[in-house]
Amino acid sequence: MKFKKLGNTDLSVSLICLGTMTWGTQNTEKDAYEQMDYSIDQGVNFFDTAELYSVPPTAESYGKTEIIIGNWFEKRKNRDKIILASKVAGPGLDWIRGGKKNYNEKGLAEAIDGSLKRLKTDYIDLYQLHWPERSTNTFGRREYSINKNEGTWNDFENILHALEKFIKSGKIRHVGLSNETPYGLSKYLELSKHKNLPRMVSVQNPYSLVNRTYEVGMSEISIREKCGLLVYYPLASGALSGKYRNGQMPKNARMSLFKGWERMINPLAMKAYDEYYKLAKEINITMVQLAQAFVNSRPFVTSNIIGATTMDQLKENIGSINIKLNEEALEKINIIHNNNPNPAP
């Protein structure tokens, strides 16, 4: 396994991070135990979860994943060997604190205490804001338009003050962002510097062969400010495995079971998958290995959050750490990308 520093902290996290969002819906607790046991045997020391999980998010699935992880910690007695990341949900979901804004002292206290109880731990190593409370163009939106009901949103400093209290209490060690923009990340980092407030150490955003938008405005900040990317959807919700090519729709695949990921299999994205399939075949690796090895190679990436519903998928994803793409392969990837940029944001 390879390791990188988590921002400016003293924590070294594995380049492969174990994603957990299917545990409790698509995966059983037994499945999850097998995935966690195998991952740590392969050198993975970084797990990512959220109070919202499992997915798709519903009132019934809320908190299930954290409960599974907490039960595993209790059985294995190995909490100290894992760098654990979780997230507080943003506004908009009625079954989570009434759908209101959560990034204040009261909302954060309820969220953190709930996660700690489910996870059966006294602390969370990395606590992330799952999505911004202000208007942003996240979750596949290409354009930006402000919400007229938002009012004057200037809570960056208040959020950092609230998070600081929980760091001082020892309940969380470090803080990070998710689904954030260059504007948001820059504001948080600026305030941390000038107001001596907690510093965001990472950003968890989507990134893959078919969604390289992070490179445009965020990658420079990540490198210069040592606030790296924790990649989610490195396989575009599984589409970069090639399983939806040629009109296929496997019975138990996410696109078959649930709504909300259709943008990953739009016509332009399907064309890109065909091109990456050909390239992977040309260089004698699988599409999954191609997609994951590309993500692993990016200098602004701190860790690549991989998810799997089967052990075979998990083994292939973790095994990508041993694949190195040469300059010729990377150039061919860029040609495909330039001809069809970011078809599945």
Which residues are the active-site residues? 53
CA gap 198, 218 in Å, rounded: 20
Give the torsion through C-alpha atoms of 142, 143, 147, 151, to 10 deg.
110
CA gap 164, 170 in Å, rounded: 10
DSSP characters for 68-113? HHHHHHHHH--GGG-EEEEEE--S--TTTGGG----SHHHHHHHHH
Residue whose token pair is 């923009």: 181
Residue 89: count of CB within 10 angstroms of its CB: 23
Exposure string (b/e) for 154-178, b if CB count within 10 Å is 16 or more?
ebbeebbbbbbebeeeebbbbbbbb
Paired with 301 in beta bridges are 229
Specify the DSSP element, H or E, that contains 326. none
Long-range contacts for 69-77 (Cβ within 8 Å, ≥24 apart)?
Answer: 69/20, 69/23, 69/32, 69/36, 69/118, 69/119, 70/117, 70/118, 70/119, 70/120, 70/121, 71/29, 71/120, 72/32, 72/33, 72/36, 73/119, 73/120, 73/121, 74/120, 75/33, 76/37
Specify the DSSP element, H or E, that contains 164. helix 156-169
Helix axis angle for 287-297 and 311-319, nearest 10°, is 40
Structure tokens at 155: 């809570």
Residue 85: φ, ψ to 5°: -115, 135
